Each structure stands twice: as C-alpha cells, then as structure tokens.
Amino acid sequence: MATHLIIVGPPGAGKGTHATVIAERYGIPAISTGDLFRQHAKAQDELGQLAASYSDRGELVPDEVTDRMVAERVAEDDAQPGFLLDGYPRNMHQVEALDALLGANGVDAVISLEADDAVVVKRLLGRAKIEGRVDDTESVIRHRIEVYHATTQPIIDAYQARNLVVSIDGTGAIDEVRGHIFAALDAFLGRAGK
C-alpha cells in the first residue's frame, strides 16, 4: 500500500532539510511545490506559462493550477509507492483537492515541525547573513511567520481532527530532530497499519 505523507512547519523549521531524507527512508519521492513551479517555469510548458501569467503580475498562482501540477506529479511512476509533499496543501481548498485525488487511500501522516517564532527568526536571519539574502530582514521574516500561522493552522487543525498529525520539535540538532521524526513516524505508521 502506498505511503502518503505531508510535511509542514514554519519557514526555517527544516522542512527542506528533512523532507528528502524522510522520503528516502520510505522509498518515496519528496515533492516540493516550489520545485514544481520552477520546473514548469523552466520547461515553459502549459502549466508553467499559466503560472507565470499570474506571478508575473504579482498575483498568487490559483489553486487550480497548483492542484494540476501536484496531480500530474503524483501520477508519475516513481510516486506510485507514495510521496512526501512539502508546500502542499497550503489551504483548505487544496486539502479537499488532495482528498479527492487520493480517494480512499488518503493521507497517512502529517509531520508538523514545530519551532518557536524567536528560534525561527534567529535561524533565518543567520541563513540570510550566510547566503547574502539581503531581502530577508527581520520584519520580512516575521511577516512570513505570521502568514504561515494564519494559513497553515487551519490545515493542521483539519488533519489533527483526523488524528493524522505527528508533532516534532524542530529546534534541536539536525540528526537529533531526524531521529525523533523517524521514531515517531515509524510508530505512527505502524499503529496506522501501514
């Protein structure tokens, strides 16, 4: 049976750092919507051009375009054993679209990386300094965190109501956090009969 996972967490909580390794452990691809947007934009295919027509005007790409990108990606052969989604779903419409896409199989677990806002701000300011991200000021970072809380909390609540959320403290050392993720997820998926 396929394993369908989602990873969520505030900016700087380590989603990208952990997603690939989690996916490797379970033999499934890590699918980042940010990567999907970049791949379609580079290919200049129909979805890439459609997404660009919005983003070039400074508008958000509509859910329907993102839904199609995700649906096409998870239909590929390597995603048949399952997948780990990073950056999707981002709102309740996308939760419903994913439910419709997966049907009875559904989502198996949502890994929620948790980190105190102050820790996230400190991490992202450090990363901005190292990587020369001059646009990542404290006010910009705090705004991104506020947007994350406002948009993602309803999604976490919806999956929590289904008893699918595995909460992990994302503030420790990478190997320590990864160990906690693996232990919690193995136990959870075992309990879920996967």
What pLDDT is recorded for position 96? 95
Measured in Å, how far apart are the chain's first and last C-alpha atoms? 7
Evaluate the CA torsion angle 76, 77, 82, 86 in order and state its sign: negative
Q: What are phi and psi of 109, to 5 degrees?
A: -160, 150
128-157 pLDDT, tens digit per residue, is: 888 888 878 899 889 888 988 898 889 999
Rounded CA-CA distance 33/20 in Å is 14
Query: 15, 73, 123, 178: which is the annotated catalytic residue?
Result: 15
15 labelled catalytic = yes
User: Out of 25, 68, 122, 133, which one is annotated catalytic?
Assistant: 133
Residue with tokens 């919005």: 54
- Provide the H-helix boundaries in the chain: 15-26, 33-43, 46-55, 63-74, 92-102, 117-131, 138-161, 174-191
Catalytic residue among 25, 90, 122, 194: 90
pLDDT for position 88: 94
| Residue 73 contacts residue 79 (beta carbons within 8 Å) | yes
Which CA distances in Å does 157 have to 112, 136, 139, 170?
Answer: 11, 29, 27, 19
Q: What is the pLDDT of residue 7?
A: 96
| CATH among 3.40.50.300, 3.10.180.10, 3.40.605.10, 3.40.50.970 for 3-191 | 3.40.50.300
For the chain, the structural domain boundaries read: 3-191
Tokens of 18: 């952990």
Please identify which of the residues 25, 68, 127, 194 carries the catalytic annotation: 127
Q: Does residue 90 have an active-site annotation?
A: yes
Full pLDDT tens readout for the chain, 194 residues: 789 999 999 988 889 889 999 999 999 999 999 899 889 888 989 998 888 888 788 777 899 999 999 999 999 999 999 999 999 998 999 999 999 999 988 999 999 999 999 988 998 898 888 888 887 889 988 988 898 889 888 999 999 999 999 999 998 889 999 999 999 999 999 865 45
Indicate if 127 belongs to the active site.
yes
User: In this predicted structure, what is the pLDDT of residue 144?
Assistant: 86
